[in-house]
Amino acid sequence: MVFEPVPARDLERAHQANAALRHKQGRALLTVRARATFCPLHDSTLVPVFPCAACLDGGLRAVGTVRSKQGMQRAHICDTCGKLQLYDLPEGALP
């Protein structure tokens, strides 16, 4: 499922996103990390944090990129409810 991003709440480094999700070992996170095309983000990559539309409480934090039929997508997981959302990356864009 692909969602159009809403304005980012904040920007953070990928290592900060990973630290925020360290306690989240839900099915969505494990599933996206198990995909053959999953590539984790480099620790110093600057990524947006989006508000979570599912729980209205948490932040969608970037965990990596995946390749799909639509192209390259950045995977975000909510740090509160664990919901997975994929965002399309423009061709040639850095994750």
pLDDT digits (tens, 9 = 90+) for 70-80: 789 999 999 99
Rounded alpha-carbon distances, angstroms, from residue 94 to 23, 28, 42, 65: 27, 23, 11, 10
Please check whether residue 79 lies inside any domain of the structure: yes
Q: What is the pLDDT of residues 5-63, one digit of tens each?
A: 567 778 999 999 988 888 777 888 889 999 999 999 999 999 999 999 899 888 999 99
Please check whether residue 5 lies inside any domain of the structure: no
The pair of structure tokens assigned to 2 is 């692909």
pTM: 0.84
Which residues span the domain enclosing 64?
10-88
Please check whether residue 94 lies inside any domain of the structure: no
Q: What is the count of structural domains for the chain?
A: 1
Please check whether residue 74 lies inside any domain of the structure: yes
Q: Is the pLDDT of residue 2 over 60?
A: no
Please check whether residue 93 lies inside any domain of the structure: no
Please check whether residue 53 lies inside any domain of the structure: yes
Please check whether residue 83 lies inside any domain of the structure: yes
